[in-house]
A and B are shown apart, each in its own frame.
Chain A
Amino acid sequence: MIDVSQGDIELVGLVKRYDDVVAVNGIDVNVAPGEFFTMLGPSGCGKTTTLRLIAGFERPDEGKILLDGVDMSRTPPHKRRVNTVFQSYALFPHKSVADNVGFGLRYQRVTKAEAKRRVGEAMALVRLQDYGQRRPAQLSGGQQQRVALARALVLEPPVLLLDEPLGALDARLRLDLQVELKRIQEQLGITFIYVTHDQDEALTMSDRVAVMRGGNIEQLGEPRELYEAPSTAFVANFLGASNLVPVSIGAADGDGAQLGLGSFTLRADRCPLGSGSDAVAMIRPENVRLEPQGNGGENRVPGMVEEVVYLGFHQEVRVRLANGTLIKVDVPNDDEQVEHEQGDPVCVHLPPRHLRVLAADAAVAPAEAAPVEQVPA
């Protein structure tokens, strides 16, 4: 259907300013043909602006946008071979579903019969073949979103841009459509550039994810790499749950280092930062182990259970460490579960291989520092 060598997008030094505000601050990235590429970040990080620059709705102040090696940063949107799926769907309310899907075919020299066949194919692809004569307002949100998808896909663009396409849908539907989007992308083999603030969407569907912040790419990598080896506290905090513990870096220890946490000393297997600097130690809640009180050994810190939150397949146990830091621990609800209750004294094990040392970042709040009200009797 589509030439697999097409759909290579390269952004070179892309900058966009609105008056004094820099929305996109020099982005360089290369998206491979057929890749599912996601830009993830909080609102205001520049992800949507970047997408709008690629679509042509905004003009960049600096930089280039190359599609298969040709700069299109000055091309108006109707002449770009990329199509967009909008968060608001942006369907034409006065046209039937079939006319919506066929809207763009008028600008591609195709015969009436060919257009009809392609509209039918596109609607079948999104499983809406029986809805052609309806008006958009007669469809549910999820169906409308699929019409928007078909309307863009019918033009067989080498690159499809998706701006938070699932943002307006409820959680259950979102999961279904995630699966469907991924299926369609793999079936057609076209490049998807996907914008979202939802980390789950980014992790489940993408080949690669760019975590964005303040108009820059903070970290770029495969979902697993981002989750397991975040390079900054911001990425660790934004992607998944994490404990960020302020520590001071002590003596080096092989590849790792000793970390000072109050009067306790921890060891991390790896430490990219030099001794003496302020840092945060990051550990995912599912990597923290709860052990009985009094357990000795390396990287074990005593604490007291402050709160237990039941979350279905697991419990989140919040433990106040002896130095005042709050640590979240995921305890699976399996056969071996141990019931923890508020006020229980426990021992928290922070395995050295799961402790990642990251530069401290004032903008990213670390774990709560001191107990607020708790005074042990």
Chain B
Amino acid sequence: MKRRPSFLAITTWVYIVWSLLPVLLAIRFAFNSGRSRTSLQGWSLRWFWEDPTLSVFHDPTLQSALVHSLELAAIVMLVATPLGTALALGMRRWRGRGSGTANIVLLLPLVTPELVFAVGMFLLFTTAFGFIGLGTTAQAIGQVTFTLSWVVLIVRGRLATIGRDVEEAAADLGAPPLHVVSRVLLPLLVPAMAASLLVSFALSIDDFVVSQYLASGADTTTVPMRIYSQARGGPTPALNALATIMLVVSLLALVLAYFVFKALTRGEQKEQRDTAFRQLAMEM
């Protein structure tokens, strides 16, 4: 006898469809062959590259936004990952007075409203750190600042599953402190660092508030900023195409993060790895 789907299962599916519907609609219009973003007019790749002036590939404003977004994301992931890893390692060593407070302060950006954080950053770069000023550098610093908390969280989670005894074992076998890090901890942290790279990439690509506040002009406009500003002017499905590209890139980053993490922790016990990744997925 077949069990009838339960109320909870139906609710879940309704929710999933409902939450995906707007995304799917937006993607559908990216492939619209007409100019309209509301009525279906057949399929085409016009808004990606076929249109000689208005497509993502040919419109210089859209193109520069895409390039700037990718640049910024690359900088953020390459700075935040090593820095966050070092911070997590430092926090693990530091057991004395003040370590508890530092712990909380480090994770504060996770719960600070992004708008408050961005306004604060804006004031900082226009007054105290006026010599830096607004622009790409400010945007990168701002994004690194809040991305760092995520990296620390991911690396610390991994450190917790690694445990302290491999460090002690390495020291016991004669490895000086630097070698404990380079020969044992860092190789074991590679999965977490790979995940951190991709997560910070995804966070940066998605960011709107911080980029918006710390931007200095047209050449520091990111994709989310461009989409937001053009949504009111004469929008074309090229915006949908741009958004679709971003969505695909973000999704690829996450999927890649999963498989890289999985591949790099292959030898380990399954449940341990799964817990680690689930933790990671939840954090994202």
Contact = CB atoms under 8 A, between A and B. Distances in A.
Interface of A: 55-57, 76-79, 82-84, 86, 88, 90-94, 103-104, 106-108, 135-138, 151-152, 155
16 contacts: A57-B172, A77-B171, A84-B172, A86-B165, A92-B170, A92-B188, A94-B187, A103-B170, A104-B173, A104-B175, A107-B174, A107-B175, A135-B267, A137-B268, A151-B169, A152-B172
A139 to B, nearest CB: 11
B130 interface: no
Contacts of A82: 172
A138 B266 CA distance: 11
A78 B163 contact: no
A102 to B, nearest CB: 10
A78 B172 contact: yes
Contacts of B169: 84, 86, 90-92, 151
A93 B172 contact: no
Contact of A88 (B165, B171, B173, B174): B165
A78 B188 contact: no
Closest 4 pairs (CB-CB, A-B): A104-B173, A107-B174, A90-B169, A90-B165
Given A86-B165, A86-B168, A93 B174 contact: no
Contacts of A88: 163, 165
B165 A151 contact: no
Contacts of B168: 55, 57, 77, 84, 86, 90
Contact of A137 (B172, B184, B267): B267
A90 B175 CA distance: 14
B217 to A, nearest CB: 47
B90 to A, nearest CB: 19
B188 to A, nearest CB: 6
B39 interface: no
Given A135-B267, A137-B268, A83 B171 contact: no
A76 B171 contact: yes
Q: Which of B172, B183, B267, B268 has the most CB of A within 10 A?
A: B172
Interface of B: 163, 165-166, 168-177, 183-184, 187-188, 267-269
Contact of B171 (A78, A106, A137): A78
Contacts of A108: 174
A58 to B, nearest CB: 10
Given A57-B172, A88-B165, 10 more contacts: A56-B171, A77-B171, A79-B174, A84-B172, A90-B163, A90-B169, A91-B166, A103-B175, A106-B174, A151-B173
A136 B165 CA distance: 15
A217 B29 CA distance: 79
A137 B269 contact: yes
B173 A152 contact: yes
Contact of A93 (B176, B183, B188): B188
A151 B184 CA distance: 15
Contacts of A76: 171
A94 B174 contact: no
Contacts of B172: 55-57, 77-78, 82-84, 152
A94 B188 contact: yes
A55 B173 CA distance: 10
B211 to A, nearest CB: 38
Nearest to A55: B172
Q: Which of A93, A104, A136 has the most CB of B within 10 A?
A: A93
A97 B278 CA distance: 29
B173 A155 contact: yes
Contact of B267 (A86, A93, A106, A151): A93
A94 B267 contact: yes
A78 B269 CA distance: 29
A103 B269 contact: no
Q: Which of A91, A92, A108, A138 has the most CB of B within 10 A?
A: A92
A136 B174 CA distance: 20
A77 B169 CA distance: 10
A79 B188 CA distance: 24
Contacts of A104: 173-175
Contact of A92 (B166, B176, B269): B166
Nearest to B168: A57
Contacts of A84: 168-169, 172
Contacts of B267: 93-94, 135-138
A82 B177 CA distance: 17
A78 B174 contact: yes
A49 to B, nearest CB: 14
B185 to A, nearest CB: 10
A136 B266 CA distance: 12
B184 A92 contact: yes
Contacts of A106: 174
Contacts of B184: 92
B258 to A, nearest CB: 20
A236 B216 CA distance: 80
Contacts of B165: 86, 88, 90
Q: Which of B163, B171, B175 has the most CB of A within 10 A?
A: B171
Contacts of A103: 170, 173, 175, 183
Contacts of B268: 93, 137
Contacts of A55: 168, 172
A24 B181 CA distance: 30
Nearest to A161: B172
A95 B166 CA distance: 12
